[in-house]
């Protein structure tokens, strides 16, 4: 495809006007101010008048099948939310009836509508989720939550052991690398020491990463210190070797200064989830302190029971505003830093080093934003408009690896009406079984 006469955000997130960008196969092969003489080689020509082309977004913490719980678990603190509402519902979700598959598929449709091409997902029925990802044409780092066992258990006796063997054998780097398989450690309070150590060993053996929840609530953080002789969740995970493999740590709301230094030194990827953290009243992560220390930060939406929307631009807006308000400092967290979290930082957290920027030779993970709207006019600074004025509905085209997956209300790879109907059926079956 040749995007013609279109504004872009280049690899440095600099605004350039009336550019030409060509994609061939899965890659960007031309970026220039002039239309190439051999423009026909790019195939379809896209008129970019009034539009902005930029890197697509990467959502670094999600639980896609939880779309079945959208609006179900409300007005509860985290532990009550989990124990009394979420886990009982999840316990009735049925793989054989396709509950997880269709929840994942509908989440993917929502993410594509809002410009997300890659997501980091922690849940169950992971083989079904991998199939859904490949069918939709998206990218995902999947891990299976079957390691959540509360008391010491032999990993090899759990169903997740065989599931992970199959995942690594059949789905690692499937779809030209679009699907990646990670190991899951749900959290310090749900996963005993031996299981954490085994998950780390499995990650090392398969040259892959870990996906964890960490210091999401004050109670979780403080209770970990009480259990482990004053060691915070970050210190505990590091003690068990978890920071010696590529890792995405979601939330990190209650990390301490010593934790922040550790996260920076170990290269931990922190997935910030501002909407979920505010909705569950978990608190505000010390984002500026992490950025100042050099911690690698990206953005996640979390599950649809704790956020209710995969509109990641809404999460970006909330992060920017909430941090300024909580710190009483309007100068912290620049729009460009937010855009980096949405794009290149998210791609790096997923170990996709050839993604997340608009540049020749990179994967063609791109979105087109409609700029010709009242709320995007005028443009003094494009990054400011994108963070504070735009919303996910301004995305008019989403491309992953050079394939258009969504354009002007049309899903190219997902039967969205069927997905909605199947999710409604699934919810009815779960509620009837409770």
- Is the domain 2-55+355-411 a CATH 2.30.40.10 member? yes
Cα dihedral sign for 301, 304, 308, 309?
positive
- Mean pLDDT over 32-56 rounds to 97
Domain with CATH 2.30.40.10 in the chain: 2-55+355-411
Q: How big is the chain, counted in residues?
A: 434
Q: Say yes or no to pLDDT of 78 above 90.
A: no
pTM over 0.85: yes
pLDDT level of residue 79 (50, 70, 90 thresholds): confident
pLDDT tens for residues 121-179? Answer: 999 999 999 999 999 999 999 999 999 999 999 999 999 999 999 999 999 999 999 99
3 state SS for the chain: CEEEEEEEECCCCCEEEEEEEEEECCEEEEEECCCCCCHHHHCCEEECCCEEEEECEEEEEECHHHHHHCCCCCCCCHHHHHHHHHHHHHHCCCCCCCHHHHHHHHHHHHHHHCCEEEEEEEECCHHHHHHHHHHHCCEEEEEEHHHCCCCCCCHHHCHHHHHHHHHHHHCCCHHHHCEEECEEECCCCCCCHHHHHHHHHHHHHCCCCEEEEECCCHHHHHHHHHHCCCCCHHHHHHHCCHHHCCEEEEECCCCCHHHHHHHHHHCCEEEECHHHHHHCCCCCCCHHHHHHHCCEEEECCCCCCCCCCCCHHHHHHHHHHHHHHHHCCCCCCCHHHHHHHHCHHHHHHCCCCCCCCCCCCCECCEEEEECCCHHHCCCCCHHHHHHHCCCHHHEEEEEECCEEEEECCEECCCCHHHHHHHHHHHHHHHHHHC
Evaluate whether 54 touches 28 at the Cβ level (below 8 Å).
no
Q: Say yes or no to pLDDT of 37 above 90.
A: yes
Looking at 74-83, 106-115, 402-411, which range is the least confident one? 74-83
pLDDT tens for residues 254-268? Answer: 999 999 999 999 999
Domain with CATH 3.20.20.140 in the chain: 57-349
Evaluate whether 2 touches 21 at the Cβ level (below 8 Å).
yes
Q: Say yes or no to pLDDT of 279 above 90.
A: yes
- Mean pLDDT over 40-51 rounds to 97
**CATH architecture for the domain at 57-349:** Alpha-Beta Barrel (3.20)
Strand 2-9 versus strand 395-400 pairing type: unpaired
């Amino acid at each position: 495809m040749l995007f013609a006469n279109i504004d872009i955000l280049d690899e440095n997130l600099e605004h350039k006007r009336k550019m030409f960008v060509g994609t061939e196969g899965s890659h960007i092969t031309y970026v220039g101010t002039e239309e190439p003489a051999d423009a026909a080689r790019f195939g379809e020509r896209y008129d970019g008048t009034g539009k902005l082309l930029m890197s697509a977004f990467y959502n670094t913490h999600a639980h896609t099948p939880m779309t079945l719980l959208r609006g179900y678990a409300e007005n509860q603190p985290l532990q009550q939310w989990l124990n009394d509402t979420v886990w009982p519902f999840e316990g009735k979700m049925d793989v054989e009836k396709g509950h997880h598959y269709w929840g994942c598929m509908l989440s993917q449709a929502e993410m594509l509508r809002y410009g997300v091409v890659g997501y980091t997902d922690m849940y169950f029925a992971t083989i079904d989720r991998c199939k859904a990802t490949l069918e939709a044409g998206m990218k995902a780092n999947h891990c299976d939550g079957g390691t959540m066992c509360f008391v010491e258990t032999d990993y090899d006796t759990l169903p997740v052991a065989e599931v992970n063997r199959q995942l690594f054998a059949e789905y690692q780097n499937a779809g030209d690398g679009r699907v990646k398989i990670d190991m899951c450690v749900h959290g310090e309070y749900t996963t005993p020491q031996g299981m954490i150590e085994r998950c780390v060993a499995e990650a090392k053996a398969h040259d892959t990463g870990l996906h964890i929840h960490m210091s999401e609530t004050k109670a979780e953080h403080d209770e970990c210190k009480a259990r482990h002789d004053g060691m915070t969740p970050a210190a505990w995970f590091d003690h068990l070797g978890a920071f010696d493999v590529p890792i995405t740590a979601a939330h990190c709301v209650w990390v301490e200064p010593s934790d922040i230094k550790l996260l920076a030194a170990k290269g931990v990827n922190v997935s910030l989830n501002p909407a979920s953290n505010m909705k569950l009243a978990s608190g505000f992560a010390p984002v500026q302190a992490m950025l100042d220390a050099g911690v690698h930060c990206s953005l996640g939406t979390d599950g649809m029971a704790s956020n209710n929307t995969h509109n990641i631009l809404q999460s970006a807006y909330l992060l920017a505003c909430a941090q300024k308000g909580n710190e009483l400092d309007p100068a912290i967290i620049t729009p460009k830093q937010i855009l980096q979290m949405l794009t290149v930082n998210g791609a790096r957290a997923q170990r996709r080093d050839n993604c997340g920027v608009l540049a020749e030779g990179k994967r063609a993970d791109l979105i087109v934003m409609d700029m010709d709207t009242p709320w995007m006019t005028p443009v003094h600074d494009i990054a400011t408009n994108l963070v504070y004025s735009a919303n996910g509905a301004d995305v008019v085209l989403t491309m992953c690896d050079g394939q258009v997956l969504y354009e002007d209300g049309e899903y190219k790879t997902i039967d969205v009406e069927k997905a909605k109907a199947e999710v409604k059926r699934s919810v009815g079956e779960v509620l009837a079984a409770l």
